[in-house]
Structure 1
Amino acid sequence: MSSAGGAGLASAGLYAVVSKPAVVAAKPENADEKAHHLKDGKGFINPWDSFRDFVGWRMGVRLFWRKLSGQARKPDTTPPTVPVVTPTFRAGRQGGKLRATWLGHACYYVEFPSGLRVLFDPVFEDCCAPVNFKSFKRFTPPPCEIEDLPTVDLVVISHNHYDHLSYPTIKRIQEAFPQAHFFAPLGNRNWFIKSGVPEGQVTELDWWDTKDVKLQARFQDAKEVDAVSVSDSETKAKREDITAVVGALPCQHVSARGPFDKCKTLWASWSLESGGAKVYFAGDTGYRAVPESTPEGDDGYGTEYAHLPHCPAFAQIGQHRGPFDLGLIPIGAYEPRWIMSPMHANPQDSVNIFVDTKCKKALGMHWGTWVLTEEDVMEPPRKLKEALREKKIEEDGVFGVVNIGESKEFESK
């Protein structure tokens, strides 16, 4: 790991200044119709035929019956599963190639050529639930602690489920990196403010909205300015170059942190561009909903399913915001398909999302950390290779996985 700890670099005082975009980003003609908004501000929906809604209590009853009747599969988490390695990071504001480090589940730490450092969907806790259930505990540990990260400029959240948004993790980020700025979809801002994040350090966005970001030093007095000019001239000069464009984009999912707030806040995928590198973070998403009659183990891609609609948003993202140098795309938590397919991508869905969004390269996520569903814990990367072969896409180096804590570098334009 980098020898520079979080507290030391946080004191450099580079804060994100968020503003309206200098250039209005392209978007579909019907984007301003806000078809995903319910009337009177009552929440949000997935406005596509590719989504099948469900009643929470009914799904719970069916899942309980699966367990009671012995139909449910319990994945084996006996080690070895996913290798966990100690990560290394660039020190300070060192540039270089676009670099992504998987920190488990949907969490990636991305180092941009500009020096910008972004943390996506961080959850460092042992349990991804509001209470400490044994069945929701990690079977692979975090590869490092939050405090081991060199610095965190931006934190990007896809939605408010507990495996993507963690109150203890957010508090730890605040303590280690008090200058960090948080981006989240509509409706989530108040949660961050109630959690103690300063109002000026939270930005919520709707689908297809963008913001310009510039990192600037925040000085208390003239002495501090002089000190920076003498002891940290590199940071003073570099801060003028650290800019980014952050955009919220559609995906097919739902939100909730309790039994009575389903879809009250928005979910999103994200684009982030800085230093000539462009990243697409798919968050948590489905691609198409297979029928409830789909047999166990059927992935829903046979000829009998060819008529099923898929989510059109990803092709729109590719058309209007692509191409991307790197896509971070979910590949796990997909069985049984008759339940999970509207909300979670299986590897075949993932490859289609990769193609639709026009990502040049991609890394998988949303697997290998918690047992959320019934597929074998090591199945997603195997199925990903099969899906790439079916699409006649080169398997090596285009869309793959890394070990937890492992980094990979990518060329950018």
Structure 2
Amino acid sequence: MSRAFGMGLGWLKVNRPSTSVCCIGAIAGYTVYCLVADQWIASRRSTLIQKRKQQEHTVSTKDVSSPPPLYASLFIGGRFVNPFDTWRDKTLWDFIKWIVTRKTGNGLPADRSQLHDDLPVVPPHFPLLDAFSPPGARRLHTKEEDPVYAEYPGIESLNRDSQITATWLGQSTCFVQMEGLNILTDPIFKRRTVFSWLGPERLRPVPCQLKDLPHPDIVLVSHNHFDHLDIDVVKALGNSVTWYVPLGLRDWFARQGIYKVKELDWWHESEITVRDVAYKVIAAPTQHWSGRNGLDSNCSLWSSFLVKGASQSFFHCGDTGYCPAFKEVGRRYGPISLAALPIGSYEPRWYMCHQHINPDDAVKIHRDLGAKWSIGVHWGTFMMSDEHYLAPVHDLKAACEKYELGIDEFIAPTFGKTLLYSGISE
């Protein structure tokens, strides 16, 4: 091996000009291949969408036993693609245009201490979370409870069969408890998205660490972008939880030594029994994309997830642009008790609208799902778009007023604050 390596270095020293030409040729060839492949996939996608539209009229709208053709996942040429007319692939020139013309700063104050008031962080209501968890999943906490929970009902009066807790921890990471089930979504607890030294940095510290929370039973992963899937959390939880992921992502988990993984296509359902209680997890469509390293773009699917218990349900959206599939989700599975919907990373609209909804779109999805309550996530954590860092809050309030939503029906929660939803029934 060492001799071969030495021979290779010797060849490079002698053939430096040839090496440069070969490298340039390889890059050019690969670029041409990608452009041709993208054009072929786009053409094939358009053809299949038209074929699905022709098939749509033959499927009964009352039939919920099989997915409607227009809303089934689509796999072409080794990649997943969006099957919706509302999607448009971005080109390299689109990206360059955005980078060159984008606004900077997001309105962030020069004095970062202002963020303490604008984006407050409170610790979760640990006694409440423990009360909703089985003894084996609880954590011991000795800290005095935050006064923000002073008006919450006493632990002894809680009923976990008719109440849901939701704790937003930043980005799309939520800890939700429903009918005795502990649910963690799109987990990321690190300071930056990629590594400790690479990627956008949190505006505010994470409200707590993974070890502070009751142990989750299941983890829902909408897609594999770094700000939605933290490898440190994957390794920490390992096979002690059941992971629900979209098609194509199981192999990535297997490479980390994680095998307790349920890989679901859109509309597929999986039943799980936890502590003798049965639940159903359903994968549903979203309009987005996937990838972690530039070479695996769209090799795995992207998905939302719906968790259904005996009488309550929770919808985890992940990232998405607005598309008609959410009306179909609502038709099949609504009304939904609680939904976590993204409300950030949406400007400029010409570039972001196909992959990220804005607060107005989020309220539309809330209505499409028939959600009783919704919380706005994916904002104020990592700044990866152009809107003002507080715009999601203000725009959500305006959208709720526009569509005449009731007070607290759809809110932008405080980092770390445990919300208690009572009397929810379908």
TM-score interval (norm. to shorter)? 0.7 to 0.9
What SS is found at the alignment partner of 1:44? strand
> Among 112, 119, 129, which residue is 1:82 paired with?
119
What letter matches 1:243 in structure 2?
Answer: A
TM-superposed CA distance for 1:333, in Å, is: 0.6
Other-structure match for 1:168: 232
> Among 369, 377, 381, which residue is 1:369 paired with?
381
What SS is found at the alignment partner of 1:261? coil
What letter matches 2:122 in structure 1?
Answer: V
**What does residue range 4-403 of structure 1 map to in structure 2 within 5 Å?**
27=64, 31=68, 35-39=72-76, 42-55=78-91, 57-66=92-101, 71-76=103-108, 78=112, 79-80=115-116, 81-87=118-124, 88=126, 89-91=129-131, 92-93=133-134, 96=160, 97-113=163-179, 115-129=180-194, 132-133=197-198, 136-174=200-238, 178-197=239-258, 199=259, 201-215=260-274, 239-240=275-276, 242-287=277-322, 311-394=323-406, 396-403=407-414
Separation of aligned partners in 2, 1:35 and 1:249: 9
Runs of 4 or more, structure 1, over 4 Å off, are: 32-35
Separation of aligned partners in 2, 1:60 and 1:404: 31
What SS is found at the alignment partner of 2:335? coil
What SS is found at the alignment partner of 1:143? coil
What letter matches 1:368 in structure 2?
Answer: G
TM-superposed CA distance for 1:129, in Å, is: 2.5
Other-structure match for 1:234: none
Other-structure match for 1:301: none
What letter matches 1:375 in structure 2?
Answer: E
Aligned-residue sequence identity (percent) comes to: 33
- Cα deviations by residue, 1:92-150 (Å, 9 ceiling, x for unpaired): 4285211111111101101112x1101011100111125733x6011111111111111
Runs of 5+ unmatched residues, structure 2: 1-61, 136-158
- Cα deviations by residue, 1:242-280 (Å, 9 ceiling, x for unpaired): 221000000111111121222111000110012421011
Bigger Cα Rg: 2
Normalising by the residue count of structure 2, what TM-score does the alignment of the two structures yield?
0.73
Separation of aligned partners in 2, 1:355 and 1:346: 14
Other-structure match for 2:141: none
TM-superposed CA distance for 1:34, in Å, is: 7.1
- Cα deviations by residue, 1:341-383 (Å, 9 ceiling, x for unpaired): 0000100000001011111111110011111111111110111
TM-superposed CA distance for 1:75, in Å, is: 3.5
TM-superposed CA distance for 1:325, in Å, is: 0.5
* Aligned residues of 1:103 and 1:143 also touching (Cα < 8 A): yes
Structure-2 change in CA distance of 1:98 and 1:44 (3 Å): same
What SS is found at the alignment partner of 2:203? coil
Structure-2 change in CA distance of 1:109 and 1:76 (3 Å): same
Aligned-residue Cα RMSD (Å) equals 2.0
What letter matches 1:126 in structure 2?
Answer: R
What letter matches 1:192 in structure 2?
Answer: F
Structure with greater helix percent: 2
What SS is found at the alignment partner of 2:263? strand
What SS is found at the alignment partner of 2:83? coil
Separation of aligned partners in 1, 2:130 and 2:63: 33
What letter matches 1:83 in structure 2?
Answer: P
* Aligned residues of 1:100 and 1:409 also touching (Cα < 8 A): yes
Separation of aligned partners in 1, 2:273 and 2:67: 30
Separation of aligned partners in 2, 1:364 and 1:72: 24
- Cα deviations by residue, 1:285-322 (Å, 9 ceiling, x for unpaired): 111xxxxxxxxxxxxxxxxxxxxxxx110100000111
Separation of aligned partners in 2, 1:35 and 1:186: 12
Normalising by the residue count of structure 1, what TM-score does the alignment of the two structures yield?
0.75
* Aligned residues of 1:66 and 1:72 also touching (Cα < 8 A): no
What SS is found at the alignment partner of 1:136? coil
TM-superposed CA distance for 1:408, in Å, is: 1.2
What SS is found at the alignment partner of 1:243? strand
What SS is found at the alignment partner of 1:257? coil
* Aligned residues of 1:73 and 1:375 also touching (Cα < 8 A): no
What letter matches 2:409 in structure 1?
Answer: V
Structure-2 change in CA distance of 1:284 and 1:26 (3 Å): farther
Runs of 5+ unmatched residues, structure 1: 1-24, 216-238, 288-310
Separation of aligned partners in 1, 2:195 and 2:285: 26
State how many pairs are aligned: 329
